[in-house]
């Protein structure tokens, strides 16, 4: 007997981390109900000649304002525009970094941003609360977060007097580990940065062409090394966000070699650009933290991504408009780090990585979806194609040739770092919990259909 489903994706090459075969996929009530065998659907998508991949899981995006020193600084993208860009790029789950308002407790901040995202997002989401002020209540807050299924935390070593509050941060890291949570860490050393920047100021070299010198590689390496030691001390896993240099990667590899749970994320800019960019007229567009490094660093990250020393490639999507990025008044002190990447993450990595033979298709899926889903407690609901999993699928056209035109993108940035790049491979359809949210050039789902995903504990890869 043929089972009738809500949706059938027919004839595609279904690819997961480690396996591929041509099969039909039957979807019922938003979940994958059958893979292979006879089936029919109320709606059918012909995926013949295409790949069917697990939807992207980008656990590092900024779609809510940075709250600091009583000020709220919005990005060009919020949950509305950012989640639409995600859907267009094949990303079906986003992890938003949420900053607390003054005196706001972590569980409150998650509730506030989850409500905003539930109102606006077209794709599913989780919120990573930023711990800025560890205090006597922090351990309780962390236990409460875990209880509510928010199993991650974010710490910045480079902002807000990290070092003066260090004991509190390390205690929080240990508590998070005990609760099965994963702590994301931005590793740059504020002391090294301040010294290097002071020297540039003294020399009158404060323009953005000197951005790389203001945050030298050693500031990342020493921060990674220290954070690994703190994590080892309290026996907690850490996830190093946007790792960008060979030196920092070798610290992480050495710790892993000792059996420590240190996970590594990189992001697109470090794979495609080097610090030579800062010398160009459009140099300010490439300002992000940590800054772009040299060719050796770029090559080390590609090798790490292919070999499994780098676990995820997430965007750190933090969009500014062109005018904001190219503001001639900006200096190394007032720089606006961040770039729009959600729409290009998967297509550019597929084109430059898989098609050019630097990354296997299986690794592509691991680093854009499966690994993040495991690390952030979403697996196997997200990050794979299996019976019982959410039907988060990308019908991927490996031959679709589409030059990047930032102005046509869905991000309000209005430009792309990949302007004019000849990118081959892109989503034909993006499906979230069985609903087509993007099809052939247009987002076809409404604002506010995305859901907060309740999570389990972090798991090893
Ligand atoms: Zn970030």
Confidence of residue 229 (pLDDT cuts 50, 70, 90): very high
Quote the CA–CA distance of 460 and 225 in Å, as a whole number. Answer: 21
Distance 156 CA to ligand 1 centre (A): 9
Ligand 1 centroid–CA 341 distance in Å is 12
* Number of independent structural domains in the chain: 2
One domain for residues 164 and 295: yes
Give pLDDT, residue 69: 85
Match 């660093």 to its residue by tokens: 297
User: Exposed (0-12), middle (13-18) or buried (19+): which is 362, by Cβ within 10 Å?
Assistant: middle
pLDDT tens digits for range 340-389: 999 999 999 999 999 999 999 999 999 999 999 999 999 999 999 999 99
In this prediction, residues 263-285 reach a mean pLDDT of 97
Rounded distance from Cα 61 to ligand 1 centre (Å): 6
pLDDT digits (tens, 9 = 90+) for 195-204: 999 999 999 9
Would you say residue 101 lies in a domain? Answer: yes
User: For 14, phi and psi rounded to 5 degrees?
Assistant: -80, 120
Instruction: Note whether 231 and 137 are same-domain residues.
Output: yes
pLDDT value for 2 = 80
In this structure, the answer to whether residues 345 and 428 fall within a common structural domain is no
Strands (E), 317-384: none
Rounded mean pLDDT of the chain?
97
CA distance 125 to 96: 7
Say whether pLDDT at 248 is over 70.
yes
Whole-angstrom distance, CA of residue 257 vs CA of residue 415: 41
399: CA distance to ligand 1 center in Å? 32
Going from the Cα of 315 to the center of ligand 1, the distance in angstroms, rounded, reads 8
The stretch 306-329 carries a mean pLDDT of 98
Residue 380 lies inside a defined structural domain of this protein: no
Quickly tell me which residue has 């966000």 as its tokens: 241
455 Cα: distance to centroid of ligand 1 (angstroms): 21
Decide if pLDDT at 160 tops 80: no
Q: Of the candidates 449, 397, 399, 366, which has an alpha carbon nearest to the alpha carbon of residue 84?
A: 449
Structural domain including 428 reads 3-53+385-443
Statement to judge: residues 341 and 416 lie in one domain: no
How many angstroms does the Cα of residue 290 sit away from the middle of ligand 1? 10
Contact call for residues 359 and 349 (beta carbons, < 8 A): yes
Q: Say how many Å lie between the CA of residue 316 and the centre of ligand 1.
A: 5
Of 349, 375, 401, the position where a domain reaches its end is 375
Contact indicator for 41, 7 with CB cutoff of 8 Å:
yes
The answer, yes or no, to whether residue 1 has pLDDT greater than 70, is no
State how far the Cα of 199 lies from the Cα of 146, in Å rounded to an integer. 44
Does residue 416 register a pLDDT over 80? yes
455 within some domain = no
Could you tell me the distance, in angstroms and rounded to a whole number, from the CA of residue 379 to the centre of ligand 1? 22
Helix axes 166-178, 217-234, angle to 10 degrees: 60
285 and 399, same domain (yes or no): no
Mean pLDDT value across residues 157-170: 94
Contact 95, 61 (CB under 8 A): yes
Compute the distance from residue 229 Cα to the ligand 1 centre, in Å: 22
3-state SS class at 448:
coil
Percent of the chain at pLDDT above 70? 100
Q: Ligand 1 centre and the CA of 391: distance in Å?
A: 28
Q: Identify whether 458 is part of a domain.
A: no
> How far, in Å, is the centroid of ligand 1 from the Cα of 198?
24
Give residue 398 CA to ligand 1 midpoint distance, Å.
29
| Of 342, 375, 408, the domain-final residue | 375
Same domain, 41 and 184: no
Mean pLDDT value of segment 158-163:
89
Domain annotation covers residue 279? yes
Ligand 1 centroid–CA 12 distance in Å is 35
What is the CA(259)–ligand 1 centre distance, in A? 27
CA of 289 to the centre of ligand 1 (A): 8
What gap in Å lies between CA 438 and CA 461, rounded to an integer? Answer: 30
Mean predicted confidence (pLDDT) in 415-430: 97
CATH code of residue 394: 2.30.40.10
65 CA distance to ligand 1 centroid (A)? Answer: 12
Are 85 and 410 spatial neighbours (Cβ–Cβ below 8 Å)?
yes
Domain of 163, CATH number, reads: 3.20.20.140
pLDDT bucket at 227, cuts 50 / 70 / 90: very high
288 shares a domain with 176: yes
Q: How far is the CA of 148 from the centre of ligand 1 (A)?
A: 23
Mean pLDDT calculated for residue range 180-202:
97
State the average pLDDT over residues 181-193.
Answer: 97
**Contact of 285 with 262, CB cutoff 8 Å:** no
pLDDT value of residue 242: 98
Show Cβ contacts of residue 434 under 8 Å, excluding neighbours closer than 6 positions. 6, 7, 27, 28, 29, 30, 31, 391
Cα Rg of the chain, angstroms: 21
Separation between Cα atoms, residue 25 and residue 453, nearest integer Å: 23
For 112-190, list the strands marked E by DSSP: 124-129, 152-156, 182-186
Asked whether residue 337 is assigned to any structural domain, the reply reads yes
Query: Is the domain of 312 the same as that of 178?
Result: yes
Q: Is residue 307 part of a domain?
A: yes
- 410 and 327 within one domain: no
User: Around ion ligand 1, which residues have CB less than 5 A away?
Assistant: 316
Over the stretch 51-77, which tens digit does the pLDDT of each residue have? 999 999 999 999 999 998 889 999 999
Query: Are residues 333 and 407 part of one domain?
Result: no
**DSSP 8-state class, residue 130:** B
- Looking at the fold, whether 150 and 185 belong to one and the same domain comes out as yes
Which tens digits make up the pLDDT trace of 92-124? Answer: 999 999 999 999 999 999 999 999 999 999 999
Distance 244 CA to ligand 1 centre (A): 13
* 209 and 227 within one domain: yes
- How many angstroms is it from 267 CA to the middle of ligand 1? 10
pLDDT at 3: 85
Q: Per the structure block, which two tokens stand in for 52?
A: 């069917």
Of 344, 375, 406, the one marking the end of a domain is 375
């Amino acid at each position: 007997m043929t089972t009738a489903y809500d949706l059938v994706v027919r004839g595609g090459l279904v690819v997961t981390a480690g396996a591929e075969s041509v099969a039909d996929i039957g979807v019922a009530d938003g979940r994958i109900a059958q893979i292979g065998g006879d089936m029919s659907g109320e709606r059918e998508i012909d995926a013949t000649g295409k790949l069917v991949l697990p939807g992207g899981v980008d656990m590092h995006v900024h779609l809510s304002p940075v709250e600091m020193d009583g000020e709220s600084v919005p990005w060009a993208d919020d949950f509305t525009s950012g989640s639409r860009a995600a859907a267009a790029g094949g990303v079906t789950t986003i992890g938003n970094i949420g900053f607390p308002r003054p005196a706001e407790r972590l569980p409150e901040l998650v509730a506030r941003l989850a409500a905003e995202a539930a109102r606006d997002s077209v794709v599913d989401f989780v919120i990573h609360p930023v711990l800025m002020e560890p205090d006597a209540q922090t351990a309780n807050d962390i236990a409460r977060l875990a209880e509510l299924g928010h199993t991650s935390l974010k710490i910045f070593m480079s902002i807000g007097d990290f070092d003066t509050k260090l004991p509190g941060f390390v205690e929080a890291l240990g508590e998070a580990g005990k609760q099965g949570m994963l702590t994301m860490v931005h590793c740059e050393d504020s002391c090294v940065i301040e010294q290097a920047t002071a020297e540039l100021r003294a020399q009158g070299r404060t323009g953005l062409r000197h951005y790389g010198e203001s945050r030298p590689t050693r500031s990342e390496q020493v921060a990674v090394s220290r954070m690994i030691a703190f994590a080892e001390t309290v026996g907690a896993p850490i996830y190093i966000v946007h790792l960008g240099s060979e030196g920092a990667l070798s610290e992480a590899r050495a710790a892993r070699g000792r059996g420590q749970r240190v996970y590594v994320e990189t992001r697109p800019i470090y794979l495609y650009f080097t610090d030579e960019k800062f010398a160009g007229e459009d140099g300010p567009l490439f300002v992000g933290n940590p800054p772009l490094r040299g060719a050796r660093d770029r090559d080390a990250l590609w090798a790490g991504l292919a070999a499994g020393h780098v676990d995820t490639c997430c965007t750190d999507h933090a969009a500014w408009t062109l005018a904001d990025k190219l503001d001639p008044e900006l200096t190394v002190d007032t720089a606006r780090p961040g770039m729009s990447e959600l729409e290009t993450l998967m297509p550019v990595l597929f084109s430059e990585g898989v098609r050019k033979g630097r990354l296997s298709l299986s690794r592509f899926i691991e680093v854009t979806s499966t690994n993040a889903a495991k690390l952030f407690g979403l697996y196997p609901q997200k990050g794979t194609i299996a019976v019982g999993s959410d039907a988060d699928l990308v019908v991927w056209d490996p031959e679709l040739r589409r030059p990047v035109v930032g102005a046509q993108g869905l991000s309000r940035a209005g430009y792309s770092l990949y302007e004019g790049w000849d990118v081959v491979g892109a989503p034909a359809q993006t499906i979230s919990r069985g609903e087509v949210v993007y099809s052939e050039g247009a987002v076809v789902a409404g604002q506010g259909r995305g859901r907060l995903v309740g999570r389990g504990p972090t798991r090893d890869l």
